[in-house]
DNA sequence: CCATAAAGTAAACGCGGTTGACCATTTCGT
DNA sequence: ACGAAATGGTCAACCGCGTTTACTTTATGG
């Protein structure tokens, strides 16, 4: 297919939009709390950082520590995360996923997996593998810029 | 490379984030008005819809007509778009890009093109072509869900 | 030790969207 | 053709979610 220069970023934006749309439609149908992308990104961050503090989350999401603190408080109220005192630092609190939070991530992964399957049905598994590698190549080259965080 | 199921959507999110980040950093450096992604999406929509009304833009962006109207008013104030009375409908106003608006889209396309070039340097032109086709395949299958609009 | 930095909290504000009410014009049903 | 409903647009009030500003408490390092 002919490719106009500069078209790929637009396609990425559209694909991203379509996929998140689909996920959130399914989440709504489950009658969950109104989770936003920032919440999902929070869960993923906590998964990979065992003794994370609010301030670490703030840096990862690219927001102020107050905003991160609000997000954590909200998620704590819903039972997705919990805060414990930091073992060595009296000022700090450690944020961690609860069983409910972990279950959400697994559920989301299943849904993303299904989206992938539908994609695979269109272009095939091998091309999906290459797509994965190509995306990974770009993301790794982008470094910190490619953090998993909200767009605006 | 090994691929975890459900990983691709996350990579798309990261790639999207990295690319928009890069574009907006460049726009800031140009000393432009503080254009947001919704503005860019507005320009693209106007490009493809010659006699669009605010209400059409609202539907495209997935916001209320009041919000779309605010966006148009703001862009009009900055000189990127103009509003003219609708030829056949006394209630309506037709929104169109000005020369400045058109120039912005061309500038953005150049920047996206450069982002593509850097990507091509990593994975090669042929793979970029396939990436384009694969993304297009997904986006076309997603239909209306894959509109070019903000994510949340 | 004491000055500075760092984690967290609280309150006021601001931006960008929605909701609700309304006007003017157009379209539709009978 | 005429009245009712629908449509494009605007205005004002509100609200969610982030920032700014200010402060408290605990660590850290000359």
Torsional sign, CA B89, B93, B96, B99:
positive
Instruction: Give the distance from residue B24's alpha carbon to the nearest chain A alpha carbon, in angstroms.
Output: 11
Does the beta-carbon distance from B146 to A22 stay under 8 Å?
no
Does the beta-carbon distance from B132 to A8 stay under 8 Å?
yes
Rounded to whole angstroms, the Cα distance separating B106 from B87 reads: 28
Show residues of chain A in contact with B144, CB under 8 Å: none
In a domain, B130, yes or no: yes
In a domain, A24, yes or no: no
Question: Which of A104-118, B23-37, B50-64, B75-89 is least confident?
Answer: B23-37
Does the beta-carbon distance from B17 to A128 stay under 8 Å?
no
Residue B75 sits in a domain whose CATH number is: 1.10.10.10
Q: What is the pLDDT of residues B84-130, one digit of tens each?
A: 999 999 999 999 999 999 999 999 999 999 999 999 999 999 999 99
Which nucleotides on strand C sit less than 7 A from a protein beta carbon? Answer: 6-11, 16-21, 24-27
In a domain, A14, yes or no: no
CA angle in degrees (0–180, nearest 5) for B129-B26-A37: 70
In a domain, A25, yes or no: no
Residue range of the domain that includes B83: 12-146
Q: What is the pLDDT of residues A13-46, one digit of tens each?
A: 999 999 998 898 888 889 899 999 999 999 999 9
In a domain, B131, yes or no: yes
Q: What is the pLDDT of residues A124-145, one digit of tens each?
A: 999 999 999 999 999 999 887 7
In a domain, B1, yes or no: no
Residue B34 Cβ < 7 Å to strand C: yes
Structure-block tokens of residue B52: 């669009």
Structural domain tally of chain A? 1
Q: What percent of chain A has pLDDT over 90?
A: 82
Does the beta-carbon distance from A132 to B7 stay under 8 Å?
yes
Interhelix angle B125-142/B99-123, nearest 10 degrees: 120
Which pLDDT does position A35 carry in this prediction?
93
Interatomic distance B151 CA / C26 C1' (Å): 34
Which pLDDT does position A149 carry in this prediction?
74
In a domain, A16, yes or no: no
A74 vs A145, residue with greater confidence: A74
Rounded to whole angstroms, the Cα distance separating A80 from A125 reads: 34
Which pLDDT does position B132 carry in this prediction?
96
Which pLDDT does position A151 carry in this prediction?
67
Neighbours of A89 (CB within 10 A): 10
Q: Which of the residues B1, B7, B14, B45 would you substitute to probe the A interface, choosing the one with the greatest number of A C-beta atoms within 10 Å?
A: B14
Which nucleotides on strand D sit less than 7 A from a protein beta carbon? Answer: 7-12, 17-22, 25-28
B1 falls in which pLDDT band (50, 70, 90)? confident
B43 falls in which pLDDT band (50, 70, 90)? very high
In a domain, A20, yes or no: no
């Amino acid at each position: 297919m002919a490719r106009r220069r500069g078209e790929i970023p637009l396609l990425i934006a559209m694909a991203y939009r379509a996929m998140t749309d689909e996920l959130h439609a399914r989440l709504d149908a489950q009658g969950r709390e109104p989770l936003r992308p920032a919440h999902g990104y929070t869960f993923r961050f906590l998964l990979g950082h065992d003794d994370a503090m609010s301030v670490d989350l703030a840096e990862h999401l690219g927001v102020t520590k107050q905003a991160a603190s609000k997000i954590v408080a909200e998620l704590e109220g819903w039972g997705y995360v919990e805060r414990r005192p930091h073992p060595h630092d009296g000022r700090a609190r450690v944020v961690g996923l609860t069983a409910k939070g972990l279950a959400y991530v697994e559920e989301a992964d299943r849904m993303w997996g299904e989206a992938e399957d539908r994609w695979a049905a269109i272009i095939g598994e091998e091309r999906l593998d290459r797509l994965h590698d190509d995306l990974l190549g770009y993301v790794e080259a982008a470094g910190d810029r490619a953090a998993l965080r909200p767009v605006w």
